[in-house]
Structure 1
Amino acid sequence: MERQVTINHPEGLHARPASDFVEAAIPFQSKIEVVFQNKSVNAKSMLSLLKLGIEQGNSVVLRAEGPDAEQALETLGGILENTH
């Protein structure tokens, strides 16, 4: 399953927003990836996410595979689209 989302947080996906995202991703059983500019990283890896350098207004693809993939995409997509 995939979902395209636009990053709305003013800081992009850096420090605090990335930490919140990873904390939300870890409990899901599904394998979850964030795809940005043809690079795919584990959504449960803070360092990998920070290396992508995702900024406000960038679009990413969330990809999830597993028993709770649909819920993971809904939850994590909402976090990325949240402006706070």
Structure 2
Amino acid sequence: MIESTITICNKAGLHARAAARLVAVASQFSSSVRIGTEKLVDGKSILSLMMLAAGKGTVLNIVVDGGDETDALQAIQALVDNRFDENE
């Protein structure tokens, strides 16, 4: 199990399209992905991610657990750092 933080840096925050991209990336891995602030939610569930209402600048905790946890965390971090591949 590895833990880290990610900061939502895109202008619109973790909106529907960004959440869908995050779910798509997380779902490529067998590891469990949990994301949140005080309460962690399933990082492979778009509805759970939308409930976080994470705007720009929100710092989220992320916990990844499984055989490919390092690769999963790196892929998720790259997606967030790249502003969910959106033009701003």
**TM-score where L is the length of structure 1:** 0.92
* Identity rate, percent: 33
How many residues were matched structurally? 83
Letter of the 1:57 partner, please give it.
G
Partner of 1:46: 46
**Gaps spanning 5+ residues in structure 2: where?**
none
Q: CA separation in 2, counterparts of 1:59 and 1:46?
A: 18
**TM-score where L is the length of structure 2:** 0.89
Give the C-alpha shift of residue 73 in structure 1.
0.6
Partner of 1:7: 8
Q: CA separation in 1, counterparts of 2:79 and 2:39?
A: 20
Give the C-alpha shift of residue 11 in structure 1.
1.0
Residue 77 of structure 1 aligns to a residue in which SS? helix
Give the C-alpha shift of residue 3 in structure 1.
1.4
Residue 2 of structure 1 aligns to a residue in which SS? strand
Residue 13 of structure 1 aligns to a residue in which SS? coil
Partner of 1:16: 17
